[in-house]
Structure 1
Amino acid sequence: MSKHYVLAAGGTGGHMVPAAALATELTRRGHRVALVSDERGVRFPDLFDGIQTHVLPAGRLSGGPIGWAKAARQMLAGRSMAIELYKTFRPSAVIGFGGYPALPALLAAFAQKVPTIIHEQNAVLGRVNRLVAGSVHGIATSYERVDRLKDSHVPKTHLVGNPVRESVLALRERPYPALDEDGIFRVLVTGGSQGASILSQVVPDGLALLPVAFRRRMQVTHQARIEDIDAVRAKYAEHGIPAEIATYLPDLPDRLAWSHVVIARAGASTIAELTAAGRPAILVPLPGATDDHQTANCREIVGAGGARSIQQTQFTATELAKQIQKLGLDPAALANAAARARSCGRPFAVRDLADLVESVDAPKAKVGKITPAKRQKEAFA
């Protein structure tokens, strides 16, 4: 039976990418989907083609009493608009992906007694998800261990993983690229959709400290902020390292496919893609991330041996060179790290999340405990 679902997500890539993956899966199953977000969210290219989208006002709880009052007015306005949407769209459930733009849609669902689920991409429960966790019918997580999740919420918590794009998931079926002793060693550097200046400042000099024979067969793709591009390009040229510099990589899955190692931030989508594809990495958590969630995101893949983590205060050229050599300049060691990264992947995340969504609007909105862990055994095949 075709049903209607509303997906509510904040306007950053970390929220929008898994929401888009779920929208695609639910649509494939014959359901109708509507997206609620802010102006940023509805402008992501190609993510929500053919999906009904709505922009709702949503304030951010900051700025002291005046800022809180303004945010409250915007939240109430967004809640009222969402209620009007539900009267015509009649959703079977509302699924929140975090971020303040998701809050009005969830508040409206509570008011209209529409079943709700939240999905947490990070290893720390986000502020909005913490705020509503006690009221929703189900909590879907991306990691087995999630900080700031209350013990009382565990019975309705389901480990599903973080959905990734199909183009990235397809890389799981491709072997880790062979690295012969004289072959080209490909490095992908990405700081997310906005780039990361610290990577631009440190990575070229760090790679330059690697053995000369190895450096001469290196090929780098580096995503940088537009204001950093000229300086980054000059540094690579100075060190004699072939490098392609860009502010945006529309073919990122293809770049990931041939990469031997990735140097990146530790955002939820980045970790999900690394573990889905099985690529070893050097990770530099964003120090200003809320509740230091990027450091928490690293725990699983680092513990498995698929990545190295360097705090930004310790991220120097010397430390980067040392960690790359520890990760493995030896082809066999790199392939082993790739396999360990892959072992952390949860390739059935979107399927398990869609199953959970379809179950939430059962009679009295009781959600049965799904067991995606059993399905994860397939991930190691």
Structure 2
Amino acid sequence: MTAASRHYVLAAGGTGGHLIPAFALALELERRGHHVALITDERGAQIPGKPASLPAHILPPGRIAGKNPLGWVKGAMGVIEGRRMALRLFESFAPTAVVGFGGYPALPTMLAARAAGIPTILHEQNSVLGRVNRFFAPRVNAIATAYEDIDKLDPKLAKKVTLVGNPVRSEVLALRDAPFPAFTSDSLLRILVTGGSQGARVLSEVVPDGLAMLPTALRARLQVIQQCRPEDIEAVRHRYASHGIPAELATYFENMAERLAHAHLFIGRSGASTIAELTVVGRPAILIPLPIATDDHQAANAREMVAAGGARAIRQEKFTASELAKQIQAMAQHPETLANAAHAAWNCGYPNAASDLADLVEGFGGAPLMDVIRVGGKPAVAKSKEALALESAE
């Protein structure tokens, strides 16, 4: 370990939306010579893509929600135990800073960091500040965002906010400078359909019939790749076969970056990681925000991309086969329309998100030698550059 090497802890809830940017930041910090540890829950530890070098520490999530008082008690006990476990990790790992990515599994860790006097940074992936991040926002040193406009973020906290974007997987980022796949009036129209890690039933029900309603000339050029729920896949396969539309179906695609690279149009949800990947690569989309998403954050996530002309959004209650067919025709009937939408999506991307977030995180810590100094058996409290500057002025 070099003198400038530091330790960082990342705390993320057990969904891909929280974990994928955490993984990307971990890789960037490791590339810079730092040591990183991840705190998550059992579900988060199973999310694909975790770097092999990143140790994962499992804490009880401490979710305090619902109307059952017994659930509150159980959740509070989980928070207390998780905070205790995180403090023990801090004693041995001595982090310079702790970065929270939201989700209930991050709650105990952020509480522990506050108790230990360790600088804290939040990263918000969505266009609506999540509940855990909302609680900690007034209490942390810095807030990194993925969008310029964030709902439920107190304007009084503006001085803490830095727009960095949402870090994406390295294999997706590698596609940033690749050209949009050639699309002419007589070439194949390759459509990628996904609905999250487990697929989405509404997509399985609507998309095949919507594609079947396209004009004959356009329908004959379709090539579809669709992710389906396991219990829906055979019914979807039968639907496509009855319409005479070639479709490759699976419950999970390991090489999703490759599929995205060849796609002309994406149809699916507007989760934070989905939007980040579509905009980094530059792929036009028809987005159907998940209606039960907390605070309707998926609808908010779609705003910027839609406003720029890179996507069209359809509320699920209006997501019918005829509406889908109409929107596809509007985007794909003329090659230049689809290419323009792809460029508009590309302009919304933040390819330097991982690097910019790492720069922000590195800004909270003492001089390199302070990172290995211990006072009274405890790690020296790391300080931000701003705090050090204030001390010098005094």
Q: Deviations over 1:22-52 (max 9, x none)?
A: 0000000000000000001112234231211
Deviation at 1:366, TM superposition (A): 3.3
Q: Distance in 1 between matches of 2:5 and 2:30?
A: 9
Match of 1:172 in 2: 176
Q: Distance in 1 between matches of 2:222 and 2:325?
A: 14
Q: Distance in 1 between matches of 2:277 and 2:355?
A: 16
Q: Deviations over 1:29-83 (max 9, x none)?
A: 0000000000011122342312111001122111333222211111000000000
Letter of the 2:70 counterpart: I
Q: Residue 86 of structure 1 is aligned with which of 85, 90, 95? A: 90
Q: Structure 1: any 5+ residue segments left out of the alignment? A: 369-381
Q: Deviations over 1:86-109 (max 9, x none)?
A: 000000000000000011111000
Q: Does 1:365 align with 2:383?
A: yes
Helix, strand or coil for the counterpart of 1:134? Answer: helix
Match of 1:18 in 2: 21
List structure 1 runs of 4+ shifted beyond 2 angstroms. Answer: 63-66, 362-368
Q: Residue 334 of structure 2 is aligned with which of 327, 330, 335? A: 330
Q: Does 1:214 align with 2:232?
A: no
Q: Distance in 2 between matches of 1:330 and 1:26?
A: 44
Match of 1:203 in 2: 207
Match of 2:43 in 1: 40
Letter of the 1:254 counterpart: E
Question: TM-score of the superposition, structure 2-length normalised?
Answer: 0.92
Q: Does 1:103 align with 2:107?
A: yes
Stretch moving more, 85-94 or 322-331: 322-331
Q: Is the 8 A contact 2:62 2:82 kept in 1?
A: no
Letter of the 1:71 counterpart: G
Question: Which of structures 1 and 2 has the bigger CA Rg?
Answer: 2
Deviation at 1:367, TM superposition (A): 5.7
Q: Distance in 1 between matches of 2:209 and 2:13?
A: 36
Stretch moving more, 206-215 or 355-364: 355-364
Helix, strand or coil for the counterpart of 1:296? Answer: helix
Letter of the 1:25 counterpart: E
Helix, strand or coil for the counterpart of 2:138? Answer: coil
Helix, strand or coil for the counterpart of 1:34? Answer: strand
Q: Residue 112 of structure 1 is aligned with which of 94, 102, 116? A: 116
Match of 1:231 in 2: 235
Match of 2:130 in 1: 126
Q: Is the 8 A contact 1:307 1:327 kept in 2?
A: no
Equivalence map 1:224-373=2 (5 Å): 224-362=228-366, 365-366=383-384
Q: Deviations over 1:246-269 (max 9, x none)?
A: 000100000000100000100000
Question: TM-score of the superposition, structure 1-length normalised?
Answer: 0.95
Deviation at 1:170, TM superposition (A): 1.1
Q: Distance in 1 between matches of 2:333 and 2:145?
A: 34
Q: Is the 8 A contact 1:125 1:148 kept in 2?
A: yes
Match of 1:376 in 2: none
Letter of the 1:121 counterpart: Q
Q: What is the Cα-based RMSD across aligned positions, in Å? A: 1.2
Deviation at 1:365, TM superposition (A): 2.9
Match of 1:137 in 2: 141
Q: Is the 8 A contact 1:4 1:31 kept in 2?
A: yes
Q: Distance in 1 between matches of 2:366 and 2:209?
A: 57
Q: Distance in 2 between matches of 1:318 and 1:151?
A: 41
Helix, strand or coil for the counterpart of 1:189? Answer: strand
Q: Is the 8 A contact 1:356 1:367 kept in 2?
A: no
Helix, strand or coil for the counterpart of 1:164? Answer: coil
Q: Distance in 2 between matches of 1:48 and 1:289?
A: 28
Q: Distance in 2 between matches of 1:353 and 1:347?
A: 11
Match of 1:148 in 2: 152
Q: Deviations over 1:251-301 (max 9, x none)?
A: 000000010000010000000000000000000000000000000000000
* Equivalent residue pairs, number: 369
Letter of the 1:295 counterpart: A
Deviation at 1:362, TM superposition (A): 4.1
